[in-house]
Amino acid sequence: MPSKIEPVQSPCVGICNLDENNICLGCFRELHEIKAWTLINNAQRTSILASVEIRAIKYKDHKKS
């Protein structure tokens, strides 16, 4: 019996606050990524998560300066 592939989980942390660029300051996804999350496949979700990591680092570095 084939095993069920689990979906990549949303990075949502329940702090939904969009900045002026429509990026959530809780999970660092863009608004269009949040809207599409339930419709996209695991490869697309993994790609978004890679972008989220970069955005989070940039945001935290920018906030320090």
Average pLDDT over residues 54-62: 92
Farthest CA pair distance, the chain = 54
pLDDT value of residue 38: 97
pLDDT value of residue 2: 67
Per residue in 1-14, pLDDT tens?
Answer: 667 889 999 999 99
The Cα–Cα gap between 58 and 19 comes to 14
Q: Token digits for 12?
A: 């949502």
**Dihedrals phi, psi of 56, to nearest 5 degrees:** -65, -45
In a domain, 4, yes or no: no
In a domain, 48, yes or no: yes
Residue in 40, 33, 39 with CA at minimum distance from that of residue 16 = 33
Residue in 38, 32, 31 with CA at minimum distance from that of residue 10 = 38
In a domain, 21, yes or no: no
Per residue in 26-54, pLDDT tens?
Answer: 999 999 999 999 999 999 999 999 999 99
The residue segments making up the domain with residue 46 are 32-64
In a domain, 59, yes or no: yes
pLDDT value of residue 42: 98
Q: How many domains in the chain? A: 1
In a domain, 51, yes or no: yes
